[in-house]
């Protein structure tokens, strides 16, 4: 029997498979598409927190070598502002990169760690009991697993079979998105951005264009003429648009699964939440789901999870997704051509001249503001920690194996019977303002202090009983 079956081998599913393999969990990934998608090259943006996670797992250089850095400023509702100062990350930029490249890098990473990926396998049924889950595939094949995770997208079969509610708002407007060449100077393009239109360079002389439609249409791929017509309606010009690389249509539905866990079945990525692509947050949100879930599910599989650990996946990630849905709703409103929305956008444009306001919004987009409620304690508790130089490499280097980490400036602490799950770095020169920290495998601070007894309590809380 497989430990975990993952339905879906997009970025969320592939990242989760890799995270589980770091802990020697037997993983099978089922992907219904027989071949990796290559019908068009959609450019996505990897944000600061996702780039930090990739650095933690040794994937950053591969991604940087296939992408192009762009300013983080201007990513909120397309309001053209410079990147704010004071972002607490070495990655104060967005990495534009073709989504098929992200998919390939993450899938290759998972396979290199020992995950098995089967393509052309569509999940059509599931039954769970107290010992595991039986999965039925198209064609009648049945597989048995201890846990199942649905990473199978917005129309998730796993979510529907579970009967998990997916409340929210149906699509009220269509939006067209694509990469095209434009026949006018960039200055003219920039002058029109924001009037129901988000538009910016995507490389190779093309622009990524997102334009709101005048009415909801049938679910079909738009044509170049559709794009030109909607551009003229919104901006008064079609910018001489031509030579599209790809075109797509999407609605503005906003939905969030009622629960992320039902017994031995969990949901992650678009299977758990959907929203308009304002700010380019969707892929990032799914990858961050995977890194939060991976070490917790691995501990559960290996029988080392403390009571309630797996349930913290929902309690931590569900509010994060709810917050993303709220900020995308706001961005959609700010991009509306309606007079009230235009007035609100003008006000936001003025407010974002204040660096603090600009930074707050960019931190939301890039997930640098995520703060898990882990109880009372130090201000760092439940927050990410930026990479810092240590005597031996960097902080993120020491998280590469997927274990937790104690960073000790006092030289007096030990991890004892947790040494197989938690590393220890003693460095009195580490650039921190606390004596010691316990980092979870996802890079969030689980404890800050200096006393061994207190550390032991938190090691047990997050990593179970000592060996």
- Domain-embedded: residue 319: yes
Residue 374 lies in a domain: no
Q: Do 53 and 145 lie in a common domain?
A: yes
372 occurs within a structural domain: no
Amino acid 37: pLDDT: 64
* CA dist., res. 113 & res. 402, Å (int): 12
pLDDT at position 144 = 98
203 and 56, same domain (yes or no) = no
Q: Is residue 378 part of a domain?
A: no
pLDDT of residue 194: 66
Residue 158 domain boundaries? 4-167+255-366
Please tell me the distance from the alpha carbon of residue 93 to that of residue 74, in angstroms, as a whole number. Answer: 11
How many domains does one find in the chain?
3
Task: Please name which of 297, 288, 305 lies closest in space to residue 462, comparing C-alpha atoms.
Answer: 305
CATH number of the domain encompassing residue 310: 3.50.50.60
Q: Within 10 A of 189 (CB to CB), how many other CB atoms are there?
A: 19
CATH of the domain at 207: 3.30.70.2450
Q: Are 84 and 358 in contact (CB under 8 A)?
A: yes
d(CA 292, CA 457): 21
Residues 16 and 142 in one domain: yes
Q: Does 142 map to a domain? A: yes
Task: Assess whether 235 and 134 both reside in one domain.
Answer: no
Distance, in Å, from the CA atom of 231 to the CA atom of 59, rounded to the nearest integer, reads 38
Q: Consecutive 10-residue runs of the chain (467 residues): their mean pLDDT?
A: 98 99 99 74 89 98 97 91 95 94 97 98 97 97 98 95 95 84 86 77 82 70 90 92 86 92 98 92 97 99 98 99 96 90 96 97 97 95 96 96 97 97 93 94 98 98 97
Residues 245 and 266 in one domain: no
- Return the pLDDT at 328: 94
Name residues whose C-beta falls within 8 Å of residue 88's C-beta, 6 or more positions apart in sequence: 368, 386
Q: Which of 221, 251, 281 is the last residue of a domain?
A: 251
Count of residues in the chain: 467
Q: Are residues 96 and 153 in the same domain?
A: yes
Same domain, yes or no: 58 and 134: yes
pLDDT tens sequence across 309-318: 999 999 999 9
152 and 287 housed in the same domain: yes
Which domain-ending residue is among 332, 366, 400? Answer: 366
Compute, in degrees rounded to 10, the torsion defined by CA atoms 80, 355, 93, 238: 0
Which of 204, 222, 251 is at the close of a domain? Answer: 251
Both 232 and 259 in a single domain?
Answer: no
Q: Are both 457 and 356 inside the same structural domain?
A: no
In a domain, 187, yes or no: yes
3-state secondary structure string, the chain? CEEEEEECCCHHHHHHHHHHHCCCCCEEEEECCCCCCCCCCCEEEECHHHHHHHHHCCCHHHHHCCCEEEECCCCCCCCCCCCCCCCCCCCCEEEEEEHHHHHHHHHHHHHHCCCEEEECCCEEEEEECCCCEEEEECCCCEEEEEEEEECCCCCCHHHHHHCCCCCEECCCCEEEEEEEECCCCHHHHHHHCCCCEEEEEEECCEEEEEEECCCCCCCCCCCHHHHHHHHHHHHCCCCCCEEEEEEEEEECCEEECCCCEECCEEECHHHCEECCCCCCCHHHHHHHHHHHHHHHHHHHHCCCCCCCCCCHHHHHHHHHHHHHHHHHHHHHHHCCCCHHHHHHHHHHHHHCCCHHHHHHHHHHHHCCCCECCCCCCCCCCCEECCCCECCCCECHHHHCCCCEEEEECCCCCCCHHHCCCEEEEECCCCCCCCCEEEECCCCEEEEEECCHHHHHHHHHHHHCCCC
Task: List pLDDT tens digits, range 121-145.
Answer: 999 999 999 999 999 999 999 999 9
What are the φ and ψ backbone dihedral angles of 466, each rounded to 5 degrees?
-70, 155
Residue 98 bridge partners (DSSP): 43
**pTM of this prediction?**
0.87
Predicted local distance difference test score (pLDDT) of residue 12 = 98
What is residue 361's predicted lDDT score, i.e. its pLDDT? 97
Same domain, 261 and 237: no
184 domain residue, yes or no: yes
Mark whether 294 and 358 lie in a shared domain.
Answer: yes
Q: Which of 171, 164, 81, 130 is nearest to 362 (CA)?
A: 81
The CATH number of the domain holding residue 432 is 3.40.30.120
Q: Is 291 inside any structural domain?
A: yes
pLDDT at 201: 82
């Amino acid at each position: 029997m497989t430990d975990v079956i993952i339905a879906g081998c997009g970025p969320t599913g592939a990242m989760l498979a890799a995270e589980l393999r770091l802990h020697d969990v037997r993983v099978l990934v089922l992907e219904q598409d027989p071949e990796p998608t290559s019908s068009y090259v959609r450019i996505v943006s990897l944000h600061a927190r996702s780039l930090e996670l990739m650095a933690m797992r040794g994937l950053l250089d591969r991604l940087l070598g296939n992408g192009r850095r762009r300013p983080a400023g201007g990513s909120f509702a397309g309001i053209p502002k410079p990147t704010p100062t004071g972002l607490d990350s070495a990655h104060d930029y967005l990495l534009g990169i073709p989504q098929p490249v992200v998919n390939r890098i993450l899938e290759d990473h998972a396979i290199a760690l020992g995950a098995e990926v089967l393509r052309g396998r569509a999940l059509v049924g599931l039954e769970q009991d107290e010992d595991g889950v039986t999965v039925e595939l198209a064609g009648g094949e049945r597989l048995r697993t201890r846990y199942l995770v649905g990473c199978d997208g917005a129309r998730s079969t796993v979510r529907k079979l579970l009967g998990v509610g997916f409340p929210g708002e149906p699509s009220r407007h269509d939006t067209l998105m694509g990469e095209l060449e434009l026949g006018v100077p960039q200055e003219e393009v920039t002058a029109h951005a924001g009037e129901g239109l988000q538009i910016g360079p995507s490389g190779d002389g093309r622009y990524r264009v997102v334009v709101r439609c005048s009415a909801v249409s049938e679910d079909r791929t738009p044509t170049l003429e559709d794009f030109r017509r909607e551009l003229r309606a919104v901006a008064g010009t079609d910018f001489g648009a031509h030579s599209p690389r790809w075109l797509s249509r999407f609605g503005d539905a906003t939905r969030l699964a009622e629960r992320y866990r039902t017994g031995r079945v969990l949901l992650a990525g678009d299977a758990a939440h959907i929203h308009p692509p304002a700010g380019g947050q969707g892929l990032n949100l799914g990858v961050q789901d995977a890194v939060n879930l991976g070490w917790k599910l691995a501990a559960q599989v290996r029988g080392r999870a403390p009571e309630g650990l797996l349930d913290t996946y929902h309690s931590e990630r569900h509010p994060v997704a709810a917050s993303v849905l709220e900020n995308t709703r706001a961005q959609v409103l700010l991009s509306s051509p309606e007079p009230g929305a235009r007035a609100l956008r003008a006000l936001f444009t003025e407010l974002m001249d204040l660096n603090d306001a600009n930074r707050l919004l960019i931190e939301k987009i890039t997930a640098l503001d995520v703060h898990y409620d882990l109880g009372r304690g130090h201000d760092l508790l439940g927050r990410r920690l930026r990479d810092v130089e240590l005597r031996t490499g960097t902080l993120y280097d020491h998280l590469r194996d997927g274990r937790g980490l104690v960073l000790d400036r006092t030289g007096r602490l030990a991890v004892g019977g947790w040494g197989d799950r938690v590393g220890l770095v003693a460095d009195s020169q580490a650039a921190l303002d606390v004596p010691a920290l316990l980092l979870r495998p996802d890079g969030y601070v689980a404890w800050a202090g200096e006393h061994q007894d207190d550390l032991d309590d938190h090691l047990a809380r997050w990593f179970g009983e000592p060996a």
